[in-house]
Structure 1
Amino acid sequence: MVQNFAFLDEHSKKEIRRKTLKAIAIPGYQVPFASRELPIARGWGTGGLQLTLSLIGREDIIKVIDQGSDESVNAVNIRKLIQDTTGVEETIDMNEATLVQSRHRIPEVPLHPSQILVLQVPMPEPLRAVEPSERVTKALHGDKEYSGAWIKMFEQIMKYGHVTDDADYPVLVNGRYVMAPSPIPRFDNPKMNDNEGLILLGAGREKKIYAVPPHTHVASLAFDDHPFEIEDFSDKVCRESGASGVFMDELIDPDTGEKYYVTNDTSYMLEQLNKEEEHVN
């Protein structure tokens, strides 16, 4: 049996590309699409994978990461499926990649104009926590009626003194649509604003595609007296690379019980280590 290039049949890829173009034309708007069956379970990145498989070409170089790591089980399995069905070159270097698929992180290295970042999304609807009906949420988006999102944030501030959403923090795209940026940490939200590359978001289980085109204004929702704040790592230093000002993981040394920090983006950490080694030599 001859396997189709990039697994999906050409009609499926064409339909997904059409919906992707619509998503790019209306930044932040959730475009429904006919989500296909893949040899991985829905909820494990099928939306992002369908975008990647519909867009990838023979000359592309693919990078797949999962929560900052190129070597997690999810990243390795998705990358293997892409390579087995396309034969394209892989890399862990952000600067070499033309197509990057990620789960729960935007890489530390900024995108350049010729790159596409695909984010896997479990729940694309930012109003779902306050409105269970899909029909109603579509009407709310159409009317630009986002009071539910604001009330949710207000209730968190009244109860806890601050907004408690540490990931998947809602953003306003192009001054029009409130969007769920996938469960990236708040630290990554500002990276979406005026970004040079194309960011695509796919939810296979919920059958939605949406996009942030290059140089689009993206602002995290916030009140004037409670401004949006990212996680503060300014006083933290990566124990492995000495990097600072990046998103870090807090770990405990099993031998000493000491708390320490390492850069979450493992390929970025490796890049910093290589630069340090070159400087020493």
Structure 2
Amino acid sequence: MKTDTHFAFFDEGSKKEIRRAIIKAVAIPGYQVPFASREMPIARGWGTGGLQITLSIIGKSDVLKVIDQGADESVNAVSIKKLVHDTTGVELTEQTEEASLIQSRHRIPEVALTKDQIIVLQVPMPEPLRPVEASELKTKTMHAENDYSGAWLMLFEQIMKYGKTATAADHPVYVNDRYVMAPSPIPRFDNSKLHESEALILLGAGREKKIYAVPPYTNVESLAFDDYPFTVEAFEDKHCHICNSTDVFLDELIDPQTGETIHQCNDTSFCMDQLNKKVEEEAQKSYV
């Protein structure tokens, strides 16, 4: 660990201010808490909101995992891991089960999270009403008055135009029967993982200077009309070409050798774990 910086980069005053915002966010599920977003050694838009939360709550005994759209080895994930490790010296892992703190961009891991874990989601646009209302003052008023007609109108217009809701990611959710919330650009497939999650879910938007949260065991429902129920990405009859997994979020790829469409687990560490388990099982069968 470097000695020329504070532990976890920030001074204690900055960390306390961000922690206070986090506490308020946990106390009011789904509510966007403004905070004094700090300047970071990475550009805004590259996960500064989530990184500020991680640096403010991480401790010396924590084990950190960072993923970017399911991958542990992407530029964004590697850069964030390096900054946190250089300023804390904490242990790093690619195994979801081993991590006490997970920072993620655009995905929630396939392995179910536990009560001993915290997941921090990076958020580019925290305001779910922004597509229908440009004024921050007006969106705050709409939240205060529980007026989410704009969010419903947005979904209705999608149905009129496409015959279905067309939110590929960041589909708005209703939290604790009170606030409509942007879940970050996770795929619709991951929305169900927010509901009654055992892990604490923290969401940070550095550029927009907002922190919000979904506490453990909180009711979270995806917005949907009764006659147009919420649906997720369909992967029926599809499986990962590496580990054979089904019922997970799959990426669609083109096999460079055959030109055919193939599918692969988006969560790379999950995929490798499943593959290793299959190899071990085959080895045991061969031994017997």
Counting only pairs closer than 5 Å after superposition, residues 108-257 of structure 1 correspond to structure 2 as 108-257=110-259
Q: Aligned letter for 2:96? A: M
Deviations 1:249-281 (A, max 9, x none): 000011211000000000000110111111111
Query: Structure 2: any 5+ residue segments left out of the alignment?
Result: 284-288
Q: Give the match's secondary structure for 1:49.
A: helix
Q: Which of 257, 279, 284 in structure 2 is aligned with 1:277? A: 279
Q: Give the match's secondary structure for 1:78.
A: helix
Q: Aligned letter for 1:110? A: A
Q: Aligned letter for 2:108? A: I
Distance 2:134 2:82 in 1: 36
Q: Aligned letter for 1:155? A: E
Taking every aligned residue pair, what percent have the same amino acid on both sides? 67
Q: Which of 19, 22, 25 in structure 2 is aligned with 1:23? A: 25
- Tell me the equivalent position of 1:69: 71
Shift of 1:2: 2.4
The alignment's TM-score, normalised by the length of structure 2, stands at 0.97
Query: Structure 1: any 5+ residue segments left out of the alignment?
Result: none
Q: Which of 97, 120, 130 in structure 2 is aligned with 1:95? A: 97
Q: Give the match's secondary structure for 1:95.
A: helix
Shift of 1:235: 1.4
Q: Aligned letter for 1:16? A: I
Q: Aligned letter for 2:73? A: E
Q: Give the match's secondary structure for 1:152.
A: helix
Distance 1:270 1:139 in 2: 47
Shift of 1:234: 2.8
Counterpart check, 1:45 vs 2:47: yes
Q: Aligned letter for 1:254? A: P
The alignment's TM-score, normalised by the length of structure 1, stands at 0.99
Distance 1:146 1:42 in 2: 29
- Root-mean-square deviation (Å): 0.6
Distance 2:116 2:185 in 1: 25
Deviations 1:48-97 (A, max 9, x none): 00000000000000000000000000000000000000000000000000
Q: Aligned letter for 1:207? A: K
Shift of 1:115: 0.2
Deviations 1:219-239 (A, max 9, x none): 000000000000011311100
Q: Give the match's secondary structure for 1:274.
A: helix
Distance 1:15 1:277 in 2: 48
Q: Which of 29, 34, 37 in structure 2 is aligned with 1:35? A: 37
Distance 1:147 1:131 in 2: 11
Distance 1:221 1:19 in 2: 26
- Tell me the equivalent position of 2:268: 266
Distance 1:259 1:2 in 2: 50
Q: Aligned letter for 2:157? A: E
Distance 2:235 2:218 in 1: 26
Q: Aligned letter for 1:213? A: P
Q: Which of 94, 103, 106 in structure 2 is aligned with 1:104? A: 106
Q: Aligned letter for 2:186? A: I
